[in-house]
């Protein structure tokens, strides 16, 4: 607790001296610095939020519809991986995604995330190919997952009931 | 320590006289037990998930801690409102204690979310609406604590903090609705009024998570409140002593 010196220039009366100091607003430097830092970071976060939150990604059908205006501009693309289209390439993986029945061929550079597989919804970062086709070159892949959670074992049991035998294949795509 | 020396604002409030009590000791033991049950179900008894395998287990702490951070923000807003209305020091310190615990739970939500995002999404962080609004909530809570830290008269400090405290409610609402309003990477809620998209032992594990994290939250807020209350008593007592000293000196000189 900070209090006035007992023999200061303006310590005429005890009560007055104490109440004057109590009422005075002393803003400490570290607290001000922290406040400024918080406001600065908050501003940065706000700009990021407003800049990218509203059109965080385009679905495949919207991207194809806006093909002309998008050109080779960078944007995020969402779609579901079409079964049977995944193929490894030297630098990554190529596959088709589709949304509302509109497909786009994707050339992805880099290792896909662990959860990447057929019928998975993926978010890609990249741009349409410079040759003017609807092919999309991506260098960042994010796998979306739904709010639905299912037990692994239960699924196997269900399949076992249907097929009459326990499936030996794993859930993960090995392609 | 008794509360006769309560400050000018809280003279009519009665508060704790120690940081511990028999009731909260039992609460603490029950909380530890619940955390043990959570570990048992979350890490051992519950099954792996179809797509996410074992990464799904992070949900059992991530979702409850996010929910309790919202509860903490609401409690802070209520405490702030009652302080502004009635100048109750008791409620102001409830708001303070709750904000500090809410900040802790929000940080925990962010950290567990990032650790969950890396193995499932493939990235720790994206600037989507949910993650961004949650980051803003964290900053607002830090702002609340920073405003409290600026040295000023008790009433001035508490009033400033209470105004920030009220802003927490709209922010929580934005975080909660972000996945419905905007396109986000983050999935929509699993638990809703229309039902749960999770069954069996996984649902039960999430339930044990809610119990354990809720008990932890209550225990932490109560103890943080007691410490804050006792600190204020010591401050007020110190001031009274100092005033008495100066009065005595004034008489002598």
Q: What is the CATH number of the domain that holds A70?
A: 2.40.50.140
Chain A residues whose beta carbon lies within 8 Å of the beta carbon of residue B51: 115, 120, 145, 150, 171
Interchain contact A146–B (C-beta under 8 A): yes
Q: Establish if A42 belongs to a structural domain.
A: no
pLDDT of residue A170: 45
Chain B residues whose beta carbon lies within 8 Å of the beta carbon of residue A11: 246
Q: Which residue has the higher pLDDT, A150 or A28?
A: A150
Q: Establish if A44 belongs to a structural domain.
A: no
Of the listed ranges A36-45, A76-85, B99-108, the one predicted with least confidence = A36-45
Distance, CA of A129 to CA of A107 (rounded, Å): 9
Pairing outcome for strands A87-88 and A92-99: antiparallel
Out of A31-40, B204-213, B235-244, give the one with best mean pLDDT.
Answer: B204-213
Counting the structural domains of chain A, the total is 1
Of B143, B149, B164, B137, nearest to A37 (Cα)?
Answer: B143
Q: Grade residue B1 by pLDDT with cuts at 50, 70 and 90.
A: very low
ipTM: 0.75
Q: Which of A99, A138, A145 to mutate to test the interface with B (most CBs of B within 10 A)?
A: A145
Q: Establish if A165 belongs to a structural domain.
A: no
Q: Which of A42, A99, A150 to mutate to test the interface with B (most CBs of B within 10 A)?
A: A150
Interchain contact A53–B (C-beta under 8 A): yes
pLDDT of residue B196: 81
pLDDT of residue A53: 59
Interchain contact B22–A (C-beta under 8 A): no
Residues contacting B81, CB < 8 A, separation 6+: B162, B166
Q: Grade residue A102 by pLDDT with cuts at 50, 70 and 90.
A: very high
pLDDT of residue A160: 61
pLDDT of residue B13: 56
* Mean pLDDT computed over every residue of chain A: 77
Alpha-carbon distances of A91 from A73, A87, A107, A110, rounded to whole Å: 22, 11, 9, 6
Beta strand residue intervals within A57-147, DSSP E:
58-59, 75-81, 87-88, 92-99, 102-109, 121-128, 136-143
Of B181, B201, B216, nearest to B67 (Cα)?
Answer: B216
Interchain contact B1–A (C-beta under 8 A): no
B99 pLDDT more than 60: yes
Of A77, A76, A97, nearest to A85 (Cα)?
Answer: A97
Contact check, Cβ <8 Å, A27/B153 = no
Q: Establish if A76 belongs to a structural domain.
A: yes
Interchain contact B233–A (C-beta under 8 A): no
Q: What percent of chain B has pLDDT over 70?
A: 94
Residues B44-62, mean pLDDT to the nearest whole number? 90
Show the domain range for A87: 64-143
Q: Establish if A124 belongs to a structural domain.
A: yes
Give me the sign of the Cα torsion angle A29, A31, A34, A36: negative
Q: Establish if A54 belongs to a structural domain.
A: no
pLDDT of residue A45: 72
Q: Grade residue A94 by pLDDT with cuts at 50, 70 and 90.
A: very high
Residues A72-84, mean pLDDT to the nearest whole number? 92
Q: Establish if A28 belongs to a structural domain.
A: no
pTM assigned to the model: 0.79
Q: Grade residue A18 by pLDDT with cuts at 50, 70 and 90.
A: very low
Q: Grade residue A3 by pLDDT with cuts at 50, 70 and 90.
A: low
Residues A1-7, mean pLDDT to the nearest whole number? 58
pLDDT of residue A13: 45
């Amino acid at each position: 607790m900070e209090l006035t010196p007992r023999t200061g220039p303006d310590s005429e009366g005890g009560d007055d001296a104490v109440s004057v100091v109590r009422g005075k607003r002393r803003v400490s430097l570290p607290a001000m610095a922290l406040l400024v830092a918080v406001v600065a970071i908050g501003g940065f976060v706000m700009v990021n939020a407003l800049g990218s939150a509203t059109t965080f990604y385009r679905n495949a059908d919207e991207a194809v519809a806006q093909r002309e205006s998008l050109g080779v501009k960078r944007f995020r693309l969402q779609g579901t991986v079409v079964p049977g289209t995944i193929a490894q390439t030297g630098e990554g993986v190529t596959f088709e995604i589709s949304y509302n029945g509109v497909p786009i061929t994707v050339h992805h550079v880099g290792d896909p995330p662990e959860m990447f597989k057929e019928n998975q919804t993926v978010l890609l970062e990249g741009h349409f190919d410079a040759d003017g086709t609807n092919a999309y070159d991506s260098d960042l892949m994010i796998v979306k997952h739904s709010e639905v959670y299912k037990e692994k074992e239960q699924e196997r049991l269900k399949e076992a009931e249907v097929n009459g035998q326990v499936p030996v294949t794993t859930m993960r795509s090995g392609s | 320590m008794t509360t006769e020396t309560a400050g000018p604002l809280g003279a009519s409030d009665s508060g704790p006289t120690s940081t511990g009590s028999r009731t909260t000791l039992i609460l603490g033991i029950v909380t530890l037990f619940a955390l043990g049950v959570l570990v048992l179900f979350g890490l051992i008894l519950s099954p792996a998930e179809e797509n996410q395998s074992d990464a799904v287990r992070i949900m059992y702490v991530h979702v409850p801690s996010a929910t309790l951070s919202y509860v903490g923000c609401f409690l802070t807003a209520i405490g702030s409102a009652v302080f502004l209305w009635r100048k109750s020091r008791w409620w102001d310190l409830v708001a303070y204690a709750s904000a500090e615990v809410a900040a802790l739970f929000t940080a925990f939500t962010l950290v567990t979310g990032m650790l969950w995002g890396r193995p499932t999404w493939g990235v720790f962080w994206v600037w989507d609406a949910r993650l961004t609004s949650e980051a803003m909530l964290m900053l607002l809570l830090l702002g609340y604590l920073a405003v409290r830290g600026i040295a000023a008269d008790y009433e001035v400090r508490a009033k400033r903090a209470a105004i920030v405290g009220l802003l927490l409610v709209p922010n929580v609402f934005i975080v909660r609705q972000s996945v419905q309003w905007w396109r986000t990477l983050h999935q929509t809620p699993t638990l809703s009024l229309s039902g749960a998209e999770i069954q069996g032992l996984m649902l039960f594990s999430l339930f044990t998570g809610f119990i354990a994290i809720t008990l932890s939250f209550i225990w932490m807020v109560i103890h943080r409140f007691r410490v804050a209350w006792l600190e204020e008593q010591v401050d007020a007592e110190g001031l009274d002593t100092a005033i008495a000293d100066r009065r005595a000196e004034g008489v002598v000189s």
